[in-house]
Amino acid sequence: MLKIHINQVVTLTNQVNKSLLEVMEDQGMVIESHCRNGDCGTCRCTLTSGEVSYQSFPLAFLAPNEILPCVCKAETDLVLEGVNFQMSEKKA
């Protein structure tokens, strides 16, 4: 099972056949995102370590070591920094 470490505060377990954005949302994170197809770059973050694969070619500008969680999947354990998120409130 692959692990995804985010901003040194959250560790998630990867789910196969889902984008990183979907994995984060499924585990209670509300991620700053918009287009969900790699065009806008709103979900852009820094890949500190690990490898991802892209489901589709991202059109948003990416600096070295930046990724778009909306259109990529984890191939190895990951360490991500600069992810803009909040944890969703649990409903009773």
pLDDT at 71 over 70: yes
CATH topology assigned to domain 3-85: Ubiquitin-like (UB roll) (3.10.20)
What is the average pLDDT score of the chain?
A: 93
The predicted structure's pLDDT at residue 54:
94
Kindly indicate the confidence band of residue 92, based on its pLDDT and cuts at 50, 70 and 90.
low
pTM, two decimals, is 0.90
Give the rounded percent of residues in the chain with a pLDDT score beyond 90: 82
User: What residue spans define the domains of the chain?
Assistant: 3-85
pLDDT in tens, 23-49: 999 999 999 999 999 999 999 999 999
Q: State the amino acid at position 65 in one-letter form.
A: N
